[in-house]
Each structure stands twice: as structure tokens, then as C-alpha cells.
Amino acid sequence: MYALTPKERLQKYARHRFKNYKEMELHCGLVNGAVGTSSEVSMKNLIKVLEACPELSPDWLILGVGPMLRSLDQQKRISVAKENKEYEEAQIVEEVAEPTQPYKGKVKDEMITIPSSVLYALKQQLENKDAQIATLLQIIDANK
């Protein structure tokens, strides 16, 4: 019996959840063609997909074991763990990221420096909000 590769499972999930591969690539922050045309999907891209799509089971995607989608209970546990981690990271960032002087841009193209830890924390917060919105939309769709 033929077992699907991780790329084929990713494509199957993309057909299930998104209109097309390009929509999935945009949603997950992948380069154009990462799902549809590349010969293999890298572990880095698989992780991006799993972070952006909390309903997708990593066991199914990577190993081909179990159901394609996680239960709502499993998704909630992951969401709570991520929120706790983000809260702890945000506390650290607040301590580190205090500016010494307010920014007063004098020229249009003036560069400013933002600590990478601040950018990372903001990116993580946005990704988690997107995941929460996706989960809520799924719950709403399931209750219709």
C-alpha cells in the first residue's frame, strides 16, 4: 500500500482548508510555489504551516499517523501554552526594550533601530492572534 509523503499530505490539507496552494502559502508565510511546485517541502516550511494552522495535526502531516485535524480540545491546550509563553516573553521585552531617547525623525528615510527581541515578540503575537481567529472561524463554521 502506498503511503503519502509529507508534501502530498500538505497538499491534501491545502485542498481541504484553502481555495488553492497560493492562498495557503500566503497564510503560512511560505514562498510562492513552496506547496504546489517544489519537489519536497522543507522541515522549516512544515513548521511554519503547523504554527499558522493549529488545527493541523503534526503527527499526521509529518508521520502520516492519526487524523488530519486536531480536536478542539487539543487546539485549546496549544493556544493556552502559546499565550503563556508569549506573556513571559513580553515581560522580558518590556524590561529590555525601553528606549533611551524618544525617536524624532528629521529626515524621511532616517533609520531607526528596533531590538530584534521586540520584533520577534510582536511577530509571535500577530501569529497567535491569526491562529486564534482561524480557530474561532472554524468553531463558528462548525456550529452553523
Q: Give a yes or no: residue 84 inside a domain.
A: yes
Q: Give a yes or no: residue 137 inside a domain.
A: yes
**What per-residue confidence (pLDDT) applies to 97?**
45
Residues 56 and 17 reside in one and the same domain = yes
Positive/negative CA dihedral, 38, 44, 45, 47 = positive
**What per-residue confidence (pLDDT) applies to 42?**
87
Could you report the per-residue pLDDT of 73-130, keeping only the tens digit for each? 766 666 555 666 665 665 554 444 444 454 555 555 565 666 777 777 778 888 888 8
Transcribe 3-31 into DSSP letters.
Answer: PPPHHHHHHHHHHHHSSSHHHHHHHHTPP
Q: Give a yes or no: residue 1 inside a domain.
A: no
Give the pTM: 0.51
Residue 53 CB: number of other CB atoms within 10 A?
A: 24
Q: Give a yes or no: residue 51 inside a domain.
A: yes
Q: Give a yes or no: residue 36 inside a domain.
A: yes
Residues 77 and 137 reside in one and the same domain = yes
Let me know: does 17 contact 10? Beta carbons within 8 Å: no
Q: Give a yes or no: residue 105 inside a domain.
A: no
